């Protein structure tokens, strides 16, 4: 049985909710700080909207949170091989320079609920938002700028996301990270058309 669907309520992470719940704590300090202190200002600038699932048996308990924004994939920044892979399911007459996408800017599962499949359930929930009747604006891809950690990269790969750049070197060059030793995040994408077949 799905945990979020059966035991939790979906809510906008607004000021009233933040003030009436326990501080959200996933294993990443920057994410916790963003959800607690910056997400409201971010939303009021119309830069990204944050949502969460709270536990029905204890509504002060936030199980997981995420932030999404409109975005796009611009193929001009991609190496040829990557461009080919990305466009392989798009008929040539429908190819453009930029493809509509939604960015998962931030996503975390509370420390008390990790490794139970909840992150996976949350990604499936987000994917389902952008397909079928709810794909109101046309959205082909979901993008994430994932933390460059085994935990996060495994998580997204396990959930069908691919790297936008096949190597860190390519990503550094294309995104202007210069010679920084290790890039802190990796861009990944999920093609929503795969859910329509
Ligand atoms: C990454 C995160 C969202 C995973 O949430 P979760 O509910 O534990 O994920 P799931 O239980 O659905 O796990 C799915 C897969 O993710 C990977 N994964 C999850 N936690 C992992 C860990 N600590 N180390 C390595 N891989 C991990 C595994 O491949 C796992 O599959 P498996 O259980 O078959 O091994 C959660 O640990 C978290 O909030 N981390 C801190 C914030 C973060 O890194 N966010 C994502 C980047 S923006």
CATH code, domain carrying 93:
3.40.630.30
Query: pLDDT band at 28, cuts 50/70/90?
Result: very high
3-state secondary structure of 94: helix
Given ligand 1 and candidates 4, 53, 67, 119, which is best to mutate, with the most ligand atoms within 8 Å of its CB?
119
Q: How far is the CA of 9 from the centre of ligand 1 (A)?
A: 21
68's CB contacts (< 8 A; 6+ apart) are: 48, 49, 51, 102, 103, 104, 105, 126
- Ligand 1 atom 7, closest CA: 119
Query: Which pLDDT score, from 0 to 100, does residue 9 have?
Result: 98
Q: How far is CA 53 from the centre of its chain?
A: 15
pLDDT tens-digit series, residues 87-130: 888 888 878 889 999 999 999 999 999 999 999 999 999 999 88
- Ligand 1 atom 28, closest CA: 155
Given ligand 1 and candidates 33, 155, 183, which is best to mutate, with the most ligand atoms within 8 Å of its CB?
155
The minimum-distance atom of ligand 1 relative to the CA of 113 is 7
Residues in contact with ligand 1 (CB, 6 Å cut-off): 26-28, 31, 106-109, 114-120, 146-147, 150-152, 154-155, 158
Q: Give this prediction's pTM.
A: 0.94
Domain that holds residue 14: 3-195
Given ligand 1 and candidates 115, 116, 185, which is best to mutate, with the most ligand atoms within 8 Å of its CB?
115
Query: Which pLDDT score, from 0 to 100, does residue 161 have?
Result: 98
Whole-number average pLDDT of the chain = 92
β 162-163/58-74 pair status: unpaired
Give mean pLDDT, residues 129-153.
88
Query: Which pLDDT score, from 0 to 100, does residue 180 have?
Result: 62
- Ligand 1 atom 15, closest CA: 155
DSSP secondary structure letter of residue 21: S
- Ligand 1 atom 32, closest CA: 115
Single out the residue of 166, 161, 141, 160 nearest to residue 87, CA to CA. Answer: 141
* Residues 11/50, Cβ–Cβ less than 8 Å: no
* Residues 78/164, Cβ–Cβ less than 8 Å: yes
Single out the residue of 65, 141, 148, 146 nearest to residue 107, CA to CA. Answer: 65
Query: Which pLDDT score, from 0 to 100, does residue 177 have?
Result: 60
Number of domains in the chain: 1
Query: pLDDT band at 178, cuts 50/70/90?
Result: low
């Amino acid at each position: 049985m799905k945990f979020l669907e059966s035991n939790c309520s979906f809510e906008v992470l607004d000021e009233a909710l933040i003030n009436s719940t326990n501080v959200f704590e996933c294993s990443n300090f920057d994410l916790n700080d963003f959800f607690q202190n910056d997400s409201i200002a971010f939303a009021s600038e119309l830069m990204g909207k944050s949502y969460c699932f709270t536990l029905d048996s204890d509504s002060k308990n936030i199980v997981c949170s995420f932030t999404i924004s409109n975005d796009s994939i611009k193929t001009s920044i991609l190496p040829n091989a990557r461009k080919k892979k990305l466009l392989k399911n798009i008929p040539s007459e429908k190819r453009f320079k930029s493809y509509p996408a939604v960015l998962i800017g931030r996503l975390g599962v509370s420390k008390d609920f990790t490794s139970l499949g909840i992150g996976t359930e949350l990604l499936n929930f987000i994917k389902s938002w952008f397909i079928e009747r709810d794909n109101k604006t046309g959205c082909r891809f979901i993008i994430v700028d994932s933390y460059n950690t085994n935990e996060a990269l495994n998580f997204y790969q396990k959930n069908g996301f691919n790297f936008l750049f096949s190597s860190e070197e390519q990503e550094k060059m294309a995104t202007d990270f210069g010679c920084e030793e290790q890039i802190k995040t990796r861009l990944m994408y999920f093609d929503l058309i795969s859910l329509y077949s």
